[in-house]
Structure 1
Amino acid sequence: MINEHMSFISISFYMLINIKTHVPVVLDFDSPNYTAWSTFFDIAFHKFGLLDHVDGTVDIQLKHDDVAWLQIDASIVSWLYAMISTDVLQAIIKPRDSVYGAWTSIKEEFLGNARHRATQAQPEFHSLAQGDLFISEYYSQLKRLADTLRDVGKPVTNSGMVINMLCGLNPKYGHVVTTVNVAHPPMTYQQARRFLL
């Protein structure tokens, strides 16, 4: 009786969680946010003790009689579906999918073509020039490309971000380039950006 009561409380608890308060990022093909999205979900899985649903250590075929586990698994699948864009959902949705199945499908969508995405983003990142862009717009484009590279396993170092930002600056900021380059200790990317702003 106690175990049944505990299972009922657990199932109700997971069904009532508003995942948007724990994962404030909607995964989208057009936004380089896979790393942020998956990190927030990983934190939620740890926080709520749900790693066995996503890490592949549990064979769901052995759980077909465990109604409570299956209900919690279905609740987590609904969390995943709620935090992805319509395009991502259409690419991965399957009837009666498990959390492990959905999580793996999403991961493959974003990391499966990592080399192709890196091949596109890397030259664009290194050739980006400020031109007539405001510093904030230039920063946003650099950050978007760097985030894309990070998502595909090719992260740009802090030093690389500073160097690339300085190399692409409009020539009217030449005096700023010198100041940032001679700073001791060296400026971080955020410090250099704030200095430019």
Structure 2
Amino acid sequence: MARGGGGQAVNQLPIVRPGLEDSSSPYYLHNGDHPGLLLFFNPLVGSNYNTWRRAMIVALTAKNKLGFIDHSIDHPRPEDLLYGSWIRCNNMVISWILNSVTRDIADSLMYMQTAEEIWTDLYERFHESNAPRIYQIKKLLSGLQQGSMDVSAYYTRLRTLWDELRDYQPTSACTCGSMREWVNYQNQECIMHFLMGLNESYAQVCAQVLMIEPLPVIAKVFALVIQEERKRSIHYGAPKTGVDHSVILNNVNLSTTTATTLLRTSQGGHCHFRNHTVDKCYKLHGYPPGHPKFKSQVSQESAQVHQASSAIEIHQYTQGDSLTPNQCKQLIEFLSSKLQAVRVDAQLANLWRVGFIDSCTNSLYI
């Protein structure tokens, strides 16, 4: 405490540089703020500038340091009390930016003096013109389909393009009814894009959403579709049969190999030819149509039928049965048809059996 010229005591307060203790000041640095801090996990490579720029603006706003890149905080003079605090915060923001870009880009920014200068240089280097990028985004939106993606991945991809496109569109601070209608129209466009890109299996839920009046927000529509997807995964999931197809295939291959080996080394017991088994012996099972001995076989079978019919007639007239001649004729026709059917079935079965065995043994019939 000091006294003035009139002898009165005058209170002298200690000089404190503003911003060092006030957490709301842009010059305030928290204990966790250090030059090695990484504000965005995905570094700037050039093509992702729009996404990187948006993430850095959000992070610097949370740190209350956005004024050091958008020229809202003036560079103080060296004699100003805030000069030292400004230098500290400016260098801190520069370190954060350098940590969020690739090594090559960081080398080109190393000798710039202010964070605002670095921010402007990156904008001029990597910022794309609005018209080509808007055209590219709208082209991607028009051709985007769910395809093999699940609903969540499809919606995430779609939402990323929407948000980037909205960033290029002019904004308005108007809160009148016209602005509300414009917001509702944008929401309707998002819903239409989302529903049109879904697979055909979601046609029913799309129809249900379109029947809602007024249309819900896009987040609610996404929730309805994702619920439908989860319900299908619970009720219509394909059950596991537990059958090991590899074991079955191995068994089939083993059986085929064993059968082939046996057929190749077998010797028919009737004709005594090699690779000629009883199963495919024409002499035992009959000759197929087209074989030279097929006609003689038919003649023999006809003779057998004739002999059988003659025996029936002899038996009829010698035994004095109660069958009439008409009944005997019907019986002979019935036996002949049955014998013919049995012969044809046997020939077809032999053809199938012989063809199957030939395909396994790759040998010729004798």
TM over 0.5: yes
Structure 2 residue aligned with 1:55: 70
State whether structure 2 residue 209 is matched by structure 1 residue 171: no
Q: Normalising by structure 2, what TM-score?
A: 0.43
Kindly indicate which of the two structures has a greater share of residues assigned to helix. Answer: 1
Asked whether the 8 Å contact 2:36–2:95 carries over to 1, the reply is: no
Q: Which runs of 5+ in 1 are unaligned?
A: none
- Larger deviation, residues 108-117 vs 147-156: 147-156
Separation in 2, partners of 1:104, 1:15: 29
- Residue 187 (1) aligns with residue 206 (2): no
Measure the CA separation in 1 of the matches of 2:57 and 2:155.
Answer: 24
Is the 8 Å Cα contact of residues 37 and 96 (structure 2) preserved in structure 1?
no
RMSD in angstroms over aligned alpha carbons?
Answer: 3.7
Give the counterpart of 2:92 among 68, 72, 75: 75
CA drift of 1:118 comes to 1.6
Cα distance in 2 between the residues matched to 1:20 and 1:40: 15
Does structure 1 retain, via aligned residues, the 8 Å contact 2:35–2:96?
yes
Give the Cα separation in 1 of the matches to 2:139 and 2:163: 14
The one of 25, 37, 62 aligned to 2:56: 37
Does the CA-based 8 Å contact 2:38-2:96 persist in structure 1?
A: no
Q: Distance in 2 between matches of 1:185 and 1:91?
A: 54
Measured after TM superposition, the shift of residue 104 of structure 1 is: 2.3
Conserved 8 A contact 1:114-1:152: yes
Q: Which residue is equivalent to 2:148? A: 132
**% identical equivalent positions:** 18
Deviation (angstroms), 1:132: 2.5
| Alpha-carbon offset, residue 163 of structure 1 | 0.9
Structure 1 length-normalised TM: 0.73
Query: What is the deviation of 1:39?
Result: 2.9
> Per the alignment, do residues 92 and 128 of structure 1 end up closer, same or farther by CA in structure 2, a change over 3 Å counting?
farther
> Structure 1's 122 and 109: CA in aligned 2 closer, same or farther, altered over 3 A?
farther
Whether the aligned pair in 1 keeps the contact of 2:130 and 2:168 (CA below 8 Å) is yes
Matches within 5 A, 1:111-150: 111-150=127-166
Matched letter for residue 70 of structure 2: D
Q: Compared with structure 1, are the counterparts of its residues 2 and 98 closer, same or farther at alpha carbon in structure 2 (3 Å cutoff)?
A: farther
Could you tell me how far 1:95 is from its partner in structure 2?
A: 0.7
Larger RCO (CA under 8 A, 6+ residues apart): 1
Match of 1:75, as an amino acid?
A: M
1:119/1:19 CA distance change after superposition, 3 Å: farther
Task: Measure, in 2, the Cα distance between the counterparts of 1:146 and 1:91.
Answer: 34
Q: Deviations over 1:152-183 (max 9, x none)?
A: 34799322211101111111111111111112
- Are the equivalent residues in 2 in contact too, given 1:32–1:144 (CA < 8 A)? no
Q: 1:123 offset after TM fit, Å? A: 0.9
The number of residues matched between the two structures is: 190
Alpha-carbon offset, residue 193 of structure 1 = 0.8
Q: Aligned-pair distance for 1:86?
A: 1.2
The answer on whether the counterparts of 2:134 and 2:165 sit within 8 Å (CA) in structure 1 is yes
Q: Choose 1 or 2 for highest CA Rg.
A: 2
C-alpha distance in 2, partners of 1:8/1:195? 49
Residue 103 (structure 2) pairs with residue 103 (structure 1) = no
- Deviation per CA, 1:25-72: give whole Å up to 9, x if none: 645444863334313323433xxxx45533325564x64563432222
Write the distance in 2 (CA, Å) between the matches of 1:87 and 1:119. Answer: 31
- CA gap of 1:142–1:192, structure 2 versus 1, over 3 A, is same
Preserved contact between residue 35 and residue 92 of structure 2 (Cα < 8 Å): no
> What is the deviation of 1:119?
1.8
